[in-house]
Structure 1
């Protein structure tokens, strides 16, 4: 078990940062004081360094600055004892694709033959299909993140925390999920490919894996208690963890640490 006072570094993109969840500690990063890292640190009395940043790719974790922020890996040092990583979705443009498709479908909703033809053209501009090589590249990058963390913090426990499920068995086209029956399965395929990249990286490197994707299948959009937000054109932070989702991911991490000391 991680001892109270231990240094904990949280790395990742918006699914770790928590945009839209109050309080927002860093507006540019979309970083919430109630994201899963803060909840875990509070429960275990850890010394948290949270450098998660909305929009981050694995390159921003490893080597590239994001706005004024240094590469996130720079926050990891020899004294670090716990690191969580949620990244890779932006490498695949996962949420970006979902958002563009939803926006274009919403804008193309007016009825009429001309509008229908225009809507079909707009929808055709969004591709939901990714080549396997892109998922392989994400797995490679996540593996590199783990390798670099181990080089900087040999004693640390490294948890790869994958993404909450957005589209589950009960998700259907609706106002807050404006995708059609053909598009939804493609989003599922992207999510499965991303989860597989996390699993592959964990298997290769020996990092510990937190499968938020599996735990949230019954809490996808359209379920009685979704752990993510739906789509509202121009409002809120669509398709991201809500407060319940962050609490659920924190609970998964805490349970893992307590049952695997």
Structure 2
């Protein structure tokens, strides 16, 4: 379904397409709603009646297109999206089937991870998005996560190389094109956060009842394990 022989230019174009048209749409269920609402309130109080004019000027200056407008609108809805709700934009129609957002903090060696949410969603793709993905239907598991190296030492930990097994019998690795780059070589006392996507191949997102997630232990600069492998199961 995915084309894996892109050069760097092709990958850059792909990332722009995904981000501008549908990734933000998929992130309609991301934990960004409260932050956006807070920023909106601040702007209204500070700018008064000039808020709309300033927003319009910023859009013109940045060359914002219709896809970006739709993405911004959806992102503002953010966490308010409820299970069962459907959102439509230029990328297609996306439905949130399940969400788990009360997940215990994960610690392994000096690494601390917070899974802000794990959700199951499906998309009926249209237009350029459908052409690019070479399908008109996409079934996804989305994981929003933050990872921190709490030690003073540099380590290696690949949060974006999580592997999952679903209750529908699929074992999957993160989709490298859709997912953010998280972890890898982490300098001391640093952190990062982002979203990891797993594309279901043989089942529907709405049928997933639980997801098992595993990570390999972090390593030090001598490639020695400095923690335990992580193996958790999240139920919807």
TM-score by length of 2: 0.27
More helix by share: 1
More strand by share: 2
Higher relative contact order (Cα pairs below 8 Å, separated by 6+ residues)? 1
